[in-house]
């Protein structure tokens, strides 16, 4: 990797992003349903792999529905689109339909799903915008070792089938697992083969208790190399890049190299605090306009309506059963929203 070439490609990628996507940057967040993965052998880098043997009752690791829906309401309020609905495997189609219907209805927005291999015939596709496949790495040897129960052929088959249902598709890629620079060409081939609408890159966040616990992650230039190469080859694709709190300085370079969406933050811990404000400054330092907020307390409280939102309300129709369930949960959802907001305000004030 020639660092000067990476910088030169990044300048071209930034201009190309402006041409096809405008001068805006979005904030996104994955909506997790729980913390248990029912795969017999979870991915070796994943936090859930460290919890599997500690959880005696898998259903105890699922979030309460009112908590999920309260988070969805707050995300709409502060202008963060949901990257996808996810959180381990093991949910029945009926459970998924109920959750996705309610989230879509509350947000007035169709949703992406990232829940493993899905049966399209059993899903309510009217509330689903797209399907994401957890590819994680395109290096075949690494993939077989790290994700033994996520065969790539099945993921590819699912994503190709999603196109038959006029759904958008995307994949997730984690950098820092041991991939090689030449693997970029494999990724480009995969994007073309699957005709993807978007790709999410994450930099490895080494989890305690995994084989990566004491490993360093991908460098900023390496990250920029992957992002800029994808942008130059696929100008219209949405590129989502994730970074962690200890790597906030990556945000500016990632946007400059072609990213148009930023994700992967512990939102409730850092909203309105130094870290959240830093995210906003990093984005604006690139000359981009930010859609959504990471610091406006009045918007968070619902006192003021967000003006620069990425949401465009859609007509969402859900079943009568789901509507009855939603009405029965209204008070619990409102209470949970108040708890989330109160917790954020206490952290801002330094009381917790």
Q: Are 122 and 92 in contact (CB under 8 A)?
A: no
Distance CA 124, CA 106 (A): 16
Q: Where are the beta strands (DSSP E) in 204-246?
A: 238-242
CA gap 15, 23 in Å, rounded: 10
pLDDT, mean of residues 239-265? 94
Q: What is the pLDDT of residue 233?
A: 98
Domain that holds residue 140: 3-348
Cα dihedral sign, 72-78-83-86: negative
Average pLDDT for the chain: 92
Q: Give the pLDDT confidence of 304-343 residue by residue, as tens digits.
A: 999 999 999 999 999 999 999 999 999 999 999 999 999 9
Residue 84 is part of a domain; what is its CATH number? Answer: 3.20.20.70
Q: Which of 212, 191, 210 is nearest to 200 (CA)?
A: 191
CB–CB of 299/305 below 8 Å? Answer: yes
Task: Report the first-to-last Cα separation within the chain, whole angstroms.
Answer: 44
- The pLDDT score that the predictor gives to residue 173 is 97
| C-alpha closest to that of 108 among 333, 320, 316, 322 | 316
Q: Whose CA is closest to 61, among 73, 53, 71?
A: 53
Q: pLDDT tens digits, residue range 78-124?
A: 999 999 999 766 788 899 999 999 999 999 999 999 998 999 999 99
Higher pLDDT, 121 or 56: 121
How high is the pLDDT of residue 352? 47
Give the mean model confidence (pLDDT) for residues 137-153: 92
Q: Which pLDDT value is given to residue 52?
A: 62
Q: Between 220-233 and 3-21, two packed helices, what is the crossing angle to 10 degrees? A: 50
Task: List, for residues 223-233, the tens digit of each pLDDT value.
Answer: 999 999 999 99
Q: Tell me the mean pLDDT in the region 234-250.
A: 94
Who's near 325: CB < 8 A, 6+ residues apart? Answer: 65, 98, 102
Q: Return the axis-axis angle of helices 93-107 and 65-78, rounded to nearest 10°.
A: 30
Rounded-to-integer distance, Cα 166 and Cα 335, Å: 38
The string of pLDDT tens digits covering residues 171-216 is 999 999 999 999 999 999 999 999 999 999 999 888 787 888 888 8
pLDDT of 64 strictly over 90: yes
3 state SS for 28-69: EEEEECECCCCCCCCCCCCHHHHHHHHCCCHHHHECCHHHHH
Q: Which class for 192: exposed (0-12), middle (13-18), buried (19 or more C-beta within 10 A)?
A: exposed
- When divided into structural domains, the chain yields a total of 1
Segment 283-299, tens digit of pLDDT: 999 999 999 999 999 99
* pTM of the shown model: 0.94
Chain centroid, CA 43 distance in Å = 17
Average pLDDT over residues 117-134: 95
Confidence of residue 149 (pLDDT cuts 50, 70, 90): confident
Confidence at residue 58, expressed as pLDDT on a 0 to 100 scale:
66
pLDDT band at residue 41 under the 50/70/90 scheme: confident
Q: Is the pLDDT of residue 275 over 50?
A: yes
Query: How far apart (Å, rounded) are the C-alpha atoms in residues 297 and 196?
Result: 36
């Amino acid at each position: 990797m020639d660092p000067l070439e990476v910088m030169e490609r990044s300048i071209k990628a930034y201009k190309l992003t402006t041409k096809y996507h405008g001068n805006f940057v979005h904030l996104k967040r994955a909506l997790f349903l729980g913390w248990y993965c029912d795969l017999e052998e979870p991915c070796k880098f994943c936090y859930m792999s460290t919890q599997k043997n500690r959880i005696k009752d898998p259903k105890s690791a699922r979030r309460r529905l009112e908590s999920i829906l309260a988070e969805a309401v707050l995300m709409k309020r502060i202008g963060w689109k949901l990257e996808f609905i996810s959180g381990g495997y093991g949910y029945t189609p009926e459970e998924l339909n109920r959750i996705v219907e309610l989230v879509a209805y509350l947000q007035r927005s169709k949703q992406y799903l990232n829940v493993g291999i899905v049966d399209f015939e059993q899903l309510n596709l009217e509330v689903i915008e797209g399907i994401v496949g957890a590819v994680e790495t395109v290096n075949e040897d690494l993939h077989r070792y790290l994700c033994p129960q996520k065969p790539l052929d099945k993921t590819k088959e699912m994503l190709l089938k999603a196109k038959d249902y006029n759904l958008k598709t995307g994949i997730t890629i984690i950098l820092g697992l041991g991939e090689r620079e030449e693997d970029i060409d494999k990724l480009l081939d995969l994007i073309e083969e699957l005709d993807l609408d978007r790709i999410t890159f994450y930099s490895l966040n080494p989890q305690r208790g995994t084989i990566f616990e004491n490993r360093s992650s991908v460098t900023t230039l390496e990250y920029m190399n992957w992002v800029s190469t994808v942008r130059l080859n696929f100008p219209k694709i949405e590129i989502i890049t994730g970074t962690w709190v200890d790597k906030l300085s990556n945000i500016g370079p990632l946007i400059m190299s072609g990213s148009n969406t930023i994700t992967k933050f512990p939102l409730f811990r850092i909203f309105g605090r130094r870290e959240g404000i830093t995210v906003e400054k990093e984005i604006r330092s690139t000359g981009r306009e930010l859609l959504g907020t990471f610091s406006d307390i009045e918007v968070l409280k619902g006192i003021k309506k967000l003006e620069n939102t990425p949401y465009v309300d859609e007509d969402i129709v859900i079943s009568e059963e789901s509507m009855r369930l939603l009405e029965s949960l209204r008070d619990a959802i409102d209470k949970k929203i108040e708890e989330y907001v109160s917790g954020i305000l206490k952290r801002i004030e330094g009381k917790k």
